[in-house]
Amino acid sequence: MISLTALLLPAAAAAVVIFFVSFVIHMVIQWHKPDYRRLPDEDGFAALVRKMGATPGQYMFPHCASPKDMQDPSFVRKQVDGPIGVLYLRPAGVQKLGPHLLRWVLYTLCVGLLAGYIARCTLGPGVDAMVVFRVVAGASWLAYAWQSPSDSIWKGKPWVVTFREMVDGLVYASITGAAFAWLWPS
């Protein structure tokens, strides 16, 4: 049996490499630059949201309190007239990148540990590296990428954005699989 502590080194190695690769993807290549567009009247929109007093959270519009209300003619009219959307609001203030980056590193570490745990439960010591790679990369890809299609189906996220996120997830999963294949206990 492989000890749980033996999963820490490959998970940490993967998290470090993913941190730098994600920096290259987002800041150097800017693969996701077209994913976000500016609102036609951003200042007017922001002023309206402030005036409404919306607090940080997730909002859907038009909003329907119950399935029965979906038949209400005023709700149907709101859908026909549009817009329809999901809005995420963060707390006001200067957005500091550090806390987001720390949470990203912790998330990648958790994904690595969970994928490694799945491999630990299914594989023994000394297993062929390619087998370790496939199990860990497959489990990691589920964590990194497979929420995105659900967001496109239910929340209206553009499919091209989902595609790019799934490619990112495949890259991160491959890094995680490679780290575990390299450092798997013999």
Cis peptide before 73 (omega within 30 of 0): no
For residue 1, is pLDDT > 90? no
In tens, the pLDDT along 130-147 reads 999 999 999 999 999 999
**pLDDT the model gives residue 58:** 95
- Partnered with residue 59 across adjacent β-strands are 87
**Which residues form the domain of 32?**
4-36+95-183
In tens, the pLDDT along 144-162 reads 999 999 999 999 999 999 9
Q: Please check whether residue 72 lies inside any domain of the structure.
A: no
Q: Report how many domains make up the chain.
A: 1
In tens, the pLDDT along 84-128 reads 999 999 999 999 999 999 999 999 999 999 999 999 999 999 999
**pLDDT the model gives residue 151:** 95
Q: Please check whether residue 143 lies inside any domain of the structure.
A: yes
